[in-house]
Structure 1
Amino acid sequence: MKLSADLQAFEQRIGHRFNKSELLIRALTHGSASSSARPDNQRLEFLGDRVLGLVMAEALLEQDTQASEGQLAPRFNALVRKEACAEVAREIGLGEVLKLGRSEMMSGGRRKQALLGDAMEAVIAAVYRDAGLSAARAMILRLWGDRVAHVDTDARDAKTALQEWAQARGQQPPSYQELAREGPDHAPVFTVGVRLEDGRTAKAQANSKRQAEQAAAAALMAKLGKR
């Protein structure tokens, strides 16, 4: 199956030319655009998450041979979480080649963090199925680049970091409140506020409540000069 010009360009961006082009097409097919003839990328996403985890675990062990499990775990989480996958996806223009249904396209699906992160994992699995672990490892390490070497020694997620900051100063854990929910059911936008016991606040928006809470915590950490 000959790939379109935009998919051939995408192959160049990820540094892998597919022997089985149908794997790439499947990896880029969201459920909203799937059919009996074109399955979606969910099964590949499931596999890609595991391949990414293995590659990152090995990379972290090789990078720091003295680190304890307690030190490695937050670094690992920072490298494999959906936000990191979506960030890499944006850098390689993955959203431009996603196969989406009309409703997802109309609601900005090409920019959604969850869709981009899922598709990035699916692409990893597609490369793994096409050419094996060595090829998948090479692509992952190339695309993640300096993130592995420069991952924070204390790479906690924003909510955890904010809670520990508050507790270290004798404050109660931060409180989160859903301030608004807008948009259709298939593409909601949540606005969440976070407040510290000392009165400092921040808020943020995202396509899920969990992501909005993390973004609000990160915004407040930035105000505190900690992010």
Structure 2
Amino acid sequence: MADGDTLVAAVQRRPVSGAAGDPVGDLAARLPHRFARPDLLLHALTHRSAADPRKQMLDSNERLEFVGDRVLALLMAEWLAERFPAEREGDLGKRLAVLVAQDSLAKVAGTLGVAAALRVPPNEERSGVRRRASVLADAVEAILGALYLDGGLEPARALVRREWSTLLEASARPPVSPKTRLQEWTLGRGLGLPEYMLVSATGPSHSPVFVVRVLAAGQDAEGSGENKRAAEQAAAERLLAVLEA
């Protein structure tokens, strides 16, 4: 395995667009692993807008994200089963859904300094891609994928248990999403299931905005988000505020 100095030296030779200093090296120093293949970390931090094989640019982080998504789910399921031995599968699933959701991943990205380390071209820099929760969440999953491919489950497990500890302990009871809460509210009153409708999907492919309307109990509300699921959750939250007022 390469030591920390080797990794930092490797990433220092790769400039990061729009960032001062060496944010990639800083992020590398925060990880519980020193890469034998530093290129894996660089790939994990490369947004798809910066990857162009025709120009001999780095691969994007999408394939590593695919791996990291599965690694995170496995390690989180293992940890939850260990931490909450008396809970049933359904409650563990609720906890898992929140802990691997975009919001949780974006919070972890903030503590690791992922935004500054992302590799993006100048035009995307100006569009604010570094601040998008979906982009940050994808990068964290890609980092987990890189850790797994370079060192196996142990370094990925070490990062998960360190960075998700506060999030995992935040709720004594299994969390319930707005969509689930709204469904329970309507079914409990014999009103059937809420209906969700996509109102619009605008913006470029790398920065979309979805708007969804939900109808239930004779009321409706709209919510927006970076993907359809996030928009549905936002709409459910707004409608609950009306119904529970």
Structure 2 residue corresponding to 1:49, chosen from 66, 69, 80: 69
Tell me if structure 2 keeps the 8 A contact 1:14–1:143: no
Report the CA distance shift for 1:131/1:212 in structure 2 as closer, same or farther (over 3 A).
same
> 176-185 vs 109-118, which deviates more?
176-185
Q: How far did residue 185 of structure 1 move? A: 4.8
> What residue number does 1:3 align with?
11
Cα RMSD after superposing both structures? 2.6
Structure 2's unaligned 5+ residue stretches are 1-8, 13-21
The amino acid across from 1:91 in the alignment is: T
SS of residue matched to 2:224: strand
> 215-224 vs 20-29, which deviates more?
215-224
SS of residue matched to 1:192: strand
Tell me if structure 1 keeps the 8 A contact 2:23–2:113: no
> What residue number does 1:211 align with?
230
Structure 2 residue corresponding to 1:84, chosen from 104, 117, 126: 104
Tell me if structure 2 keeps the 8 A contact 1:28–1:97: yes
Tell me if structure 1 keeps the 8 A contact 2:224–2:231: yes
Structure 1's unaligned 5+ residue stretches are none
CA distance in 2, matches of 1:211, 1:18: 34
CA distance in 2, matches of 1:198, 1:92: 45
CA distance in 2, matches of 1:123, 1:225: 41
After superposition, residues 61-140 of structure 1 pair within 5 angstroms as 61-140=81-160
Tell me if structure 2 keeps the 8 A contact 1:79–1:151: no
CA distance in 2, matches of 1:174, 1:152: 28
Aligned residues: 225
Q: How far did residue 161 of structure 1 move? A: 2.2
The amino acid across from 2:166 in the alignment is: D
Report the CA distance shift for 1:211/1:3 in structure 2 as closer, same or farther (over 3 A).
same
CA distance in 1, matches of 2:67, 2:183: 33
Q: How far did residue 182 of structure 1 move? A: 4.0
Structure 1 residue corresponding to 2:43, chosen from 26, 36, 42: 26
Deviation by residue 1:36-67 (Cα, 9 ceiling, x = unmatched): 34111122111111211121111111112222
Q: Which runs of 4+ in 1 moved over 6 A?
A: none
CA distance in 1, matches of 2:67, 2:211: 32
The amino acid across from 2:228 in the alignment is: K
CA distance in 2, matches of 1:45, 1:184: 21
> What residue number does 2:18 align with?
none
CA distance in 2, matches of 1:12, 1:77: 29
Identity of aligned residues (%): 40
Report the CA distance shift for 1:126/1:190 in structure 2 as closer, same or farther (over 3 A).
same
> 69-78 vs 148-157, which deviates more?
148-157
Larger Rg: 2
The amino acid across from 1:204 in the alignment is: G
Tell me if structure 1 keeps the 8 A contact 2:186–2:194: yes
TM-score by length of 2: 0.79
